[in-house]
Amino acid sequence: MKKTFYRIGEHFTERPWDRPTREAVEVWWNSFKDTKYLDQFKIWIGGGVLEETTTWDLDIIITGQFKYPADLKHVLDEGIRIGLKHWMLVDIKWKDNLWEDEFQPFKQIRSFNEIEKSTPEKHIIKKYKGVEIYPGLFQHEYKKPTKTYKFSKKMIDEGKYTFGLQKFSDYIYNNKPILA
């Protein structure tokens, strides 16, 4: 019988992740915020968790200049590792700019270039665009609007998304539990 497993770059788990909740995101953040080298970056949240829609992952974007590529790789890897430790998929990437209303070309770096999912029923390998610029760091330059941009724009135009992106610290502050 085939085993079920998931591999995100160098990270591996045999347990499927759960849908992220506010509580799970806060647990992840409380571990992630102490990550070495994180002080070089600004952390942003977007996607379904921010917009409170049903989603399977936590979308995190980091921005800012990093001193060494190894620093960036460590931060990206820790985001994924801590997420899987808490049974949550964290889609974390670095971008050189954040587009607001209109698309602007950007560079994106991930610490993986493929995801693998294997269950008794199927085996899938999803490959991402990217050129290895440092061992384990994959960069891709987007010159045209991406599927993510088009989807987000559509959701904003339909009034289903209202936030776009938010600083992670603001998200945590704005979602503190109310004590009775």
Domain boundaries, the chain: 22-112+130-173
Whole-number pLDDT of residue 180? 46
| Mean pLDDT score across all residues of the chain | 90
pLDDT at residue 179 is higher than 60 = no
Region of poorest pLDDT, from 46-55, 106-115, 156-165: 156-165
Spatial separation of the C-alpha atoms in residues 60 and 39, rounded to whole Å = 15
Whole-number pLDDT of residue 135? 97
Average pLDDT rounded to a whole number, residues 35-59: 93
pTM listed for this prediction: 0.91
Average pLDDT rounded to a whole number, residues 146-167: 83
Region of poorest pLDDT, from 20-29, 64-73, 132-141, 171-180: 171-180
Residues 71-80: pLDDT tens digits?
A: 999 999 999 9
Tokens 């950007």 — which residue? 106
Bridge-based pairing of strands 89-95 and 57-63 is parallel
pLDDT at residue 46 is higher than 60 = yes
Region of poorest pLDDT, from 1-15, 24-38, 129-143, 153-167: 153-167
Residues 65-98: pLDDT tens digits?
A: 999 999 999 999 999 999 999 999 999 999 999 8
Spatial separation of the C-alpha atoms in residues 42 and 64, rounded to whole Å = 6
Region of poorest pLDDT, from 15-29, 83-97, 165-179: 165-179
Q: Strand order in 114-118's β-sheet? A: 11-13, 5-8, 114-118, 123-127
Identify which of 93, 66, 110, 80 has the alpha carbon closest to the alpha carbon of residue 12: 80
3 state DSSP class of 148: helix
